[in-house]
Amino acid sequence: MITTVSLKDVLLDSTKEVFETMVFMAVEESLQDGTSLDAPALLATITFKGRLEGCLGICCGQTCASAVAASMLGMASGEELGANDVSDAIGEIANMLLGAVKSRIQNEVGNIEVSIPSVVEGRELRSSLGEGSSQVRIRVSIEEEHIAELSLLYREGCNH
C-alpha cells in the first residue's frame, strides 16, 4: 500500500534523480520553511489517473526556473532564455518527475495515465480531489542557491 511517508521518499528520490541526470544540478531536501520563493513564481503541474490519481506540482521563483532551464538546455551562463523556453523547461521537469515517480510506484498501483504538463504563474497547488485525498509537500534546495517546492496531491481512485 502506498503511504504519504513512502510517497514523500519516492518524490524526493525521483527529484534527485531527475535533477542529477537531466538538469545536472544537485538537489537536497531543505528544512528552511521560512524562506520564501522569489516572485514571480512559476508553477508547473501534471495530472495522473488510475488506481492512484492526482496532481504533481513544482513551484519555484523565476530566477530558479531560469537557472534550471539554462542548465537543462546546456546553455552558458549569461545566455538569455525567453519566457517560453523557461516555461517549457519547467513543464518538462514536472513531466520527468512524474515519470520517475510512476516508475517507482507502478508495481504497487498499476498503470497510471499521465496528462501533459501545464505551467502558470502562481504559487499554490490546492486540492480539488475531495474527501480522502492526501498531500505530500517537499521543499528542496537546488545547488544550495535556489529553493523550490514540490507537491503531490493524490487519492486512491477507481481503476479506470
Beta-strand pair 112-114/27-29: unpaired
CA separation for the pair 134, 156 (Å, rounded): 9
Evaluate whether 48 touches 102 at the Cβ level (below 8 Å).
yes
Average pLDDT, the chain: 88
Listed in order, strand segments (DSSP E) in 9-51 are: 27-29, 41-50
Structural domain tally of the chain?
1
The pLDDT of residue 160: 47
Per the listing, cell 539554462 goes with: 70
Average pLDDT for residues 46-63, to the nearest whole number?
A: 93
pTM of model > 0.75: yes
pLDDT of 57 higher than 80: yes
* CATH number, domain with residue 62: 3.40.1550.10
pLDDT of 25 higher than 80: yes
Pull the grid cell for residue 85: 523556453
CA separation for the pair 79, 32 (Å, rounded): 30
- Give the range of the structural domain holding residue 122, as residue numbers without chain letter: 4-156
Higher per-residue confidence, 65 vs 130: 65
pLDDT, tens digit, 9 for 90 and up, residues 66-123? 999 999 999 876 678 899 999 999 999 999 999 999 999 999 999 999 999 999 986 6
